[in-house]
């Protein structure tokens, strides 16, 4: 028996049409630094999206050609988010924080036909262009320096000004009927080892993911909200918030290049932001600013944090000092990225809530999870047994673009590379990345747990823990610590004593190093490969203590 339901494709186009008409008066606000922010209604966004689609069509963009973006979070980037997939092409967000050779490789591997570049990033993109063989057109968005634009033209590529293209383009576009399973966007992983891998999202996966973000068990987005995506638009489609906002009617507040703690607090205060989204380092910086300078963040109902584990001390500080419950989320480029959301179950109160808030949360509706063992066996989801998290679902990638990578998949499930536990109710608690687990004397030590405990010390701003070779135990932990600027002298003995009541004594690090900053990836995650390289090269000033008595 067949259903009687209409078969209407789930597409980005339908989100765009709905958001720019049903919520025509809502707005996207773009920060401009010291000047008043730029404001654009969703109705105007819809018209400019059509103009951009016409402009791209005039440059030969048709079918499923890739159009790259090399931009900040702003209104023009949002226009590209909608115009490119809706016209049947593929949006490809390029990471502005990678090296030119990495961006050049990614743009060439993806086959980008054109790239939209923010004017402020033209000097940086000029270094990329000679390495991006497939790019035929460069479109410069924003007030551009003439000499900088000429430098792009010297590459032999056609260079255009964004606003001039839109001015010359019709204000309506004949949006094609698209297959919901066709490609809508692509993003490359920001892995710290090996070449980046391309993940290609379908219209269907992005539509379902957007609906998921709006649900009450996720971020409960509605037209009452004003969303601040500090997470870059080149990072897993800004966690899908740009699409969920138009679907739900929420306003968008875009930080552009102004992402200092002071600028973020100013945006929250002046624009009455209700939901902010960013990686832990962002919210740690904002917390330090609020403590030092002050600011009004009372409009917020939550701060979403993902990308890496958020220290419990930071979550408790926001709760105790500002009455704000942070929302911990887990996912990756391969999961679009929402995989799980940390809300305590109904009826859980008091201190018991922290067991859930500090976890990675419950696996999201439609996302299935299981635990994989070293030999490919499936381990029990009992909340105690640790293994590699494997997932599958309608917005989880089943392959990589032009890269089979069989080691990343297991019987149709994605191997996430994250190690942790999974319980019967679907709650995930990560203990480490598979490559970061410290194997000492046949036992596992969680570098993530050590880091979170160290960052709870009042004098510690950041801490990263890596495994280093040890003649007796195979590997032992080395703690690289960044002290707060206002901290007095702190010794390794003091920090180890702080840890001693919180973990088994055999897990206490003997090796310590005080550093100015933890190396980070382009999206703010700790880049432990750099620390390992620095240690191997003797570039870290390491203090070695006697092993703690067991």
The percent helix, strand, coil of the chain (3-state, each to 5) is 35, 25, 40
Please tell me the predicted confidence (pLDDT) of residue 488. 85
Please tell me the predicted confidence (pLDDT) of residue 191. 55
CB atoms within 10 A of CB 468: 18
Q: CA Rg, the chain, in Å?
A: 24
Query: What is the widest separation between alpha-carbon atoms in the chain?
Result: 76
Residue 476 near residue 520 (C-beta atoms within 8 A): no
Distance CA 88, CA 116 (A): 17
Please pick, among 79, 180, 334, 510, the residue that the annotation labels catalytic: 334
Please tell me the predicted confidence (pLDDT) of residue 47. 98
Residue 387 near residue 346 (C-beta atoms within 8 A): no
Task: List the single range of 44-48, 74-78, 241-245, 404-408 with lowest mean pLDDT.
Answer: 404-408
Residue 169 near residue 52 (C-beta atoms within 8 A): yes
375 CB-near residues (< 8 Å, 6+ apart): none
- How many residues are present in the chain? 550
* CATH 3.40.50.620, applies to 314-433: no
Please pick, among 439, 443, 491, 533, the residue that the annotation labels catalytic: 439
Rounded to an integer, the average pLDDT of 402-414 is: 93
Distance CA 92, CA 249 (A): 25
Please tell me the predicted confidence (pLDDT) of residue 68. 98
Task: List the single range of 165-169, 257-261, 500-504 with lowest mean pLDDT.
Answer: 500-504
Q: 421: part of which helix (H) or strand (E)? A: strand 413-422
Please pick, among 444, 475, 506, 530, the residue that the annotation labels catalytic: 444
Here the tokens at position 273 are: 């932001």
Task: Work out the mean pLDDT of the chain and round it to a whole number.
Answer: 94
**pLDDT, tens digit (0-9, with 9 covering 90-100), for 420-455:** 999 999 999 988 777 787 878 767 788 888 998 999
Distance CA 330, CA 430 (A): 9
Residue 334 near residue 396 (C-beta atoms within 8 A): yes
Please tell me the predicted confidence (pLDDT) of residue 87. 98
CB atoms within 10 A of CB 413: 20
Q: Is the pLDDT of residue 344 over 90?
A: yes
Distance CA 448, CA 429 (A): 11
Here the tokens at position 468 are: 């280093």
- The DSSP bridge pattern shows strands 66-70 and 226-229 to be unpaired
Please tell me the predicted confidence (pLDDT) of residue 193. 53
Closest CA to 157 of 179, 173, 134: 134
Distance of CA 229 to the CA centre of its chain: 10
Residue 16 near residue 82 (C-beta atoms within 8 A): yes
Is 334 catalytic? The answer is: yes
- The DSSP bridge pattern shows strands 511-514 and 474-483 to be parallel
List the chain domain ranges.
12-305, 314-433, 438-544
Is 239 catalytic? The answer is: no
Collapse the DSSP code of 295 into the 3-class scheme (helix H, G, I; strand E, B; otherwise coil) and give the result.
Answer: coil
Look up the CATH architecture of domain 12-305: 3-Layer(aba) Sandwich (3.40)
Residue 172 near residue 83 (C-beta atoms within 8 A): no
Rounded to an integer, the average pLDDT of 470-485 is: 90
Distance CA 451, CA 33 (A): 34
Three-state secondary structure of 67-129: EEEECCECHHHHHHHHHHHHCCCEEEECCCCCCHHHHHHHHHHHCEEEEEEEHHHHHHHHHHH
Here the tokens at position 302 are: 């939550």
**pLDDT, tens digit (0-9, with 9 covering 90-100), for 87-110:** 999 999 999 988 899 999 999 999
Collapse the DSSP code of 455 into the 3-class scheme (helix H, G, I; strand E, B; otherwise coil) and give the result.
Answer: coil
Helices (H) and strands (E) in the chain, counts: 17, 28
Q: 14: part of which helix (H) or strand (E)? A: helix 12-22
Q: For the chain, how far is it from start to end, CA to CA, in angstroms?
A: 67
- CATH number assigned to the domain with residue range 438-544, chosen from the 4 options 3.40.830.10, 3.40.50.300, 3.30.300.30, 3.30.70.890: 3.30.300.30
Q: How confident is the model at residue 161 (pLDDT cuts 50, 70, 90)?
A: very high
Q: Is the pLDDT of residue 251 over 80?
A: yes
Distance of CA 355 to the CA centre of its chain: 24
- Which residue has 């700790």 as its token pair? 526
Please pick, among 69, 189, 333, 335, the residue that the annotation labels catalytic: 189
**pLDDT, tens digit (0-9, with 9 covering 90-100), for 217-249:** 999 999 999 999 999 999 999 999 999 999 999
Torsion sign over Cα 328, 331, 332, 336:
negative
């Amino acid at each position: 028996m067949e259903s009687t339901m209409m078969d209407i494709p789930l597409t980005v186009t339908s989100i765009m049409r709905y958001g720019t008409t049903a919520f025509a008066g809502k707005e996207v606000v773009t920060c401009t630094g010291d000047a008043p922010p730029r404001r654009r209604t969703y109705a105007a966004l819809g018209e400019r999206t059509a103009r951009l689609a016409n402009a791209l069509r005039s440059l030969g963009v048709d079918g499923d050609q890739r159009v790259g973006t090399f931009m900040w979070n702003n209104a023009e980037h949002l226009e590209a988010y909608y115009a490119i997939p809706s016209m049947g092409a593929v949006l490809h967000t390029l990471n502005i924080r990678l090296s030119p050779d990495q961006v050049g490789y990614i743009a060439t591997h993806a086959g980008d036909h054109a790239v939209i570049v923010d004017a402020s990033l033209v000097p940086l993109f000029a270094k990329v262009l000679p390495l991006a063989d497939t790019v035929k057109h460069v479109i410069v968005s924003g007030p551009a320096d003439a000499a900088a634009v000429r430098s792009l033209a010297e590459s032999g590529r056609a260079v255009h000004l964004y606003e001039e293209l839109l001015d010359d383009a019709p204000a309506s576009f004949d949006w094609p009927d698209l297959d919901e399973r066709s490609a809508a966007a692509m993003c490359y992983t920001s892995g710290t080892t090996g070449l980046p891998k391309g993940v290609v999202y379908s219209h269907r996966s992005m539509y379902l993911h957007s609906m998921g973000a709006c649900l009450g068990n996720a971020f409960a987005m509605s037209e009452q909200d004003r969303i601040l995506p500090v997470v870059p638009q080149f990072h897993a489609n800004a966690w899908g918030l740009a699409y969920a906002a138009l679907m739900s009617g929420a306003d968008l507040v875009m930080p552009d290049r102004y992402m200092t703690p002071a600028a973020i607090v100013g945006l929250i205060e002046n624009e009455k932001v209700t939901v902010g989204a960013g990686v832990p380092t962002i919210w740690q910086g904002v917390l330090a600013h609020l403590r030092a300078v002050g600011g009004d963040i009372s409009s917020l109902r939550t701060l979403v944090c993902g990308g890496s584990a958020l220290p419990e001390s930071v979550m408790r500080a926001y709760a105790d000092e500002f009455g704000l419950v942070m929302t911990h989320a887990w996912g990756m480029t391969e999961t679009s990225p929402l995989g799980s959301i940390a809300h305590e179950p109904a009826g859980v109160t008091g201190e018991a809530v922290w067991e859930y808030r500090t976890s990675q949360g419950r696996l999201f509706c439609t996302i299935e999870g299981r635990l994989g063992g070293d030999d490919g066996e499936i381990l029990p989801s009992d909340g105690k047994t640790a293994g590699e998290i494997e997932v599958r679902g309608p917005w989880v990638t089943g392959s990589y673009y032009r890269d089979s990578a069989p080691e990343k998949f297991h019987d149709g499930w994605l191997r996430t590379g994250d190690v942790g536990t999974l319980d019967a109710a679907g709650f995930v608690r990560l203990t480490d990345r598979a490559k970061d687990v410290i194997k000492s004397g046949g036992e596992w030590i969680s570098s993530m747990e050590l880091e979170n405990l160290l960052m709870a010390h009042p004098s510690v701003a950041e801490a990263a823990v890596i495994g280093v070779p040890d003649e007796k135990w195979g590997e032992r932990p080395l703690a690289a610590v960044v002290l707060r600027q206002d901290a007095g002298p702190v010794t390794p003995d003091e920090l180890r004593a702080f840890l001693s009541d919180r973990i088994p004594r055999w897990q206490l690090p003997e090796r310590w190093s005080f550093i100015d900053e933890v190396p980070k990836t382009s999206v703010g995650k700790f880049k432990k490969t750099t620390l390992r390289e620095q240690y191997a090269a003797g570039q870290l000033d390491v203090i070695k203590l006697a092993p703690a008595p067991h």
